[in-house]
Amino acid sequence: IFRGTLSKRGVRVITGLGKYFRQIDENRNGLLSRAALKEALKVFHLEMPEGDFESLWLILDDSKSDKVDYGEFTHAIFGEMNEYRKTSVRKAYMKLDFNKTGSVPMADVRKCYCAK
């Protein structure tokens, strides 16, 4: 629905939505209700006619759980990563996974990443 119109502003909006979703996710389960998604779109001035919202909801809630996973939301908007990006992510992850355990503690991420 948003694809093809993602400009620099669009990237900032999607990033902002991600931060907003994490703030309102009281359970920390990564899931959004229909009302929460609708409110988030309103906050970021992405309102749409009710019919369009219902179509969006049907696409995002493909498991029919009446909840939307934030990861599914971003996947629906951005689509699948291209091979170059996948390779870059894999390389970065391999460097962060010092112990080769398959998970990376936040302390290890802090050792390697400076947001400045």
CA atoms within 13 A on the CB side of 109: 6
Q: Between 10 and 37, name the one with better pLDDT.
A: 37
Task: In whole angstroms, give the CA distance from residue 55 to residue 75.
Answer: 16
Tokens for 81? 């990563």
Tokens for 84? 């170059």
The predicted pLDDT at position 7 comes to 61
Query: Quick one: 31 and 45 in the same domain?
Result: yes
Reported as a single tens digit per residue, the pLDDT across 26-48 is 888 888 889 988 998 898 888 88
Q: Is the pLDDT of residue 11 over 50?
A: yes
The predicted pLDDT at position 26 comes to 80
Query: Quick one: 96 and 54 in the same domain?
Result: no
Q: Which domain holds residue 96?
A: 83-112
Answer positive or negative: Cα dihedral of 24, 26, 31, 33: negative
Query: Quick one: 53 and 72 in the same domain?
Result: yes
Q: Is the pLDDT of residue 57 over 50?
A: yes
Query: Quick one: 60 and 36 in the same domain?
Result: yes
